[in-house]
Amino acid sequence: MYSREELKQCLECRWRKKQIKLDLMLLGILAAVFLVFGLFELILHLDDYKDYPDLLWILPTTLVGFLLLIFLFILPWMIYTYTDYKKVLKLSEQAELYDVILDHPSTSWGYRGAVYYTVRFQTNDRENITADTKPLWSSLPGVFPIEEYNNKKIEILYHKEENRVIVLGLKDWNKNINKK
């Protein structure tokens, strides 16, 4: 089996870490946009207002309110992504390792640009399992390319009680990680 450090480099964990970074980047961009907007608003209308203390108080308060509102929309998604990352690491301790071929793609309902796969395999108990992966692949840049994984043999971990497939990577994925 794989060590915890190796599992942190598996496909699913890397995808979740990318998602958290993207959410933080989105939050930073929105904060910068609101800050620039606020500064322009302040500079353009400074002469229009005679009551400077009110203007200097209301504008930053409004900007902070907008940022908090945006943060409250992004924060739950970030928390969900982080807890799912931790759950993947926890479930992988009790999961069994299998090799499967990614040959049944489907478009994700929630992520229209992403693809998940339905994998079929036989457990060590001779039980036939059909389960879906998470939507980790896409033709969009910065995501795991479909072309590199479609019809290829990959390693997965399967947690029977949760009926959860954890995608590790292409066959012998850990050898490529250890070379870096």
pLDDT higher than threshold 60 for residue 179: no
Residues 117 and 168 in one domain: yes
State which residues form the domain around 122: 96-179
Residues 105 and 78 in one domain: no
Residues 106 and 86 in one domain: no
Say what the pTM is.
0.79
Residues 9 and 87 in one domain: yes
Residues 151 and 118 in one domain: yes
Sequential DSSP letters for 58-111: HHHHHHHHHHHHHHHHHHHHHHHHHHHHHHHHHHTTT-EEEEEE---EEE-SSS
Structural domains in the chain (count): 2
Which of the four pLDDT bands, split at 50, 70 and 90, describes residue 100? very high
The reported pLDDT for the residue numbered 4 is: 86
The reported pLDDT for the residue numbered 3 is: 84
Q: Which of 28, 56, 91 is the last residue of a domain?
A: 91
Residues 29 and 85 in one domain: yes
